[in-house]
Amino acid sequence: MTSLALHGVGIGWRRELALFIDRLPSPGFVEVLAEHLPPSGDVPEPLSRLRERGVPVVLHAVSLGLGSAEPPDPRRLDWLARQAERVGAICISEHLAFVRAGGLESGHLLPLPRSEDALDVLAENVLRAQAALPVPLALENVASLFEWPDAAFSEAELLAGVLARTGASLLLDVANLHAHVLNHGTDADAVLACVPRERLAYVHVAGGVQRGGLYHDTHAHPLHAGPLELLERLAERLGPVPVMLERDDRFPAKAELASELSAVSTALDRGASRWRAGARP
């Protein structure tokens, strides 16, 4: 799969941010949560206006459960395909996680066991989803507060493995990677190094908070230096990459949002400048 037509700095479209986003002179792209869209009828008018302006739209989902032992529910895949068509999405992104088992919903994006069996199931589920969806699929690494015991391989090897076995691209969440570094000692450089530019769809950055000795990826707190540093290091390796800011709660004043978008642009430009100069890791 080749890189998608995403560029620049985007932002997650939320109703609470619709006016702020509408007034941005040139958002690179927007990401819409599939589960937050109205079940039928027209899409929200501010989102339609962005499409009319030519702003690319990505549909982001949280409920497929690609890491579950059961295959993705065909009804969920059909619903997701229809939502993508409604908003004119150029791709769909979902998480490398499971969210249900035995008919019970977890309410969380739970991490996958890093085993060969789990990777086999994940790859098969991704291939099923790709066959059912009308646009390309991008897979996102998740943040976690725990890890399964007896891991057979690293986080970087999990990402590389699913990319090798499927035609999907990667949505690299550097805030989630930052959480893994702090919570589990994950090797961030190994993860950054495993991402081929042609398989990178886009990047997430978001805020979080340290609580009880663990870093929580909340999307409701100010943006930390850690994810920005990882974004800069990624751009130093790969050059300019499409990146977007997520904010899902405790929506700040427009000046704070604008400042965070500026910080994202600055980190991206710093890394890309070193890439252009040939100072690659």
Q: Is 57 inside a domain boundary?
A: yes
> What mean pLDDT do residues 226-254 have?
97
The Cα 13–Cα 87 span in angstroms is 12
Confidence grade of residue 105 (pLDDT, cut at 50, 70, 90): confident
The mean pLDDT of the chain is 94
Tell the burial category of 227 from Cβ atoms under 10 Å away from its Cβ (0-12, 13-18, 19+): buried
Mean pLDDT of 179-206: 97
pLDDT at 2: 45
For residue 101, the model assigns a pLDDT of: 76
Is 266 within the bounds of a domain? yes
0.85 exceeded by the pTM?
Answer: yes
CATH number of domain containing 205: 3.20.20.150
d(CA 171, CA 218): 18
Domain-located, residue 132: yes
- Here the tokens at position 76 are 């969920």
| DSSP string computed for 121-174 | HHHHHHHHHHHH-SS-EEEE----S---SS-SS-HHHHHHHHHHHSS-EEEEEH
Whether 1 is in a domain gets the answer no
Q: Does 155 fall in a domain?
A: yes
Residues 47, 13 contacting (CB under 8 angstroms) = yes
Find out whether 254 and 262 touch, Cβ atoms under 8 Å.
Answer: no
Residue 4 lies in a domain: no
Q: Is 9 helix (H, G, I), strand (E, B) or coil?
A: strand
Half-sphere exposure of 45 (CA within 13 A, CB side): 1
Q: What is the mean pLDDT of residues 197-203?
A: 97
Q: What is the pLDDT of residue 102?
A: 76
pLDDT band at 280 (very low <50, low <70, confident <90, very high): low
- Cβ pair 184, 145 in contact under 8 A: no
Q: Are 140 and 95 in contact (CB under 8 A)?
A: yes
Between CA 55 and CA 47 the distance in angstroms is 9
pLDDT at 196 over 60: yes
Q: How confident is the model at residue 1 (pLDDT cuts 50, 70, 90)?
A: very low
Domain that holds residue 125: 9-276
Q: What is the per-residue pLDDT across 22-46, written as a single tens digit (0 to 9) for each?
A: 999 999 999 999 999 988 888 999 9
Q: Is residue 2 part of a domain?
A: no
Residue 130 lies in a domain: yes
| Contact partners, residue 181, CB within 8 Å, separation at least 6 | 188, 226
Average pLDDT in the 111-132 region?
96
Give the relative orientation of helices 155-165 and 116-132 as an angle to the nearest 10 degrees. 40
Predicted confidence band of residue 52 (pLDDT cuts 50, 70, 90): very high
Instruction: List the structure tokens of 132.
Output: 């059912």
Tally the domains of the chain. 1
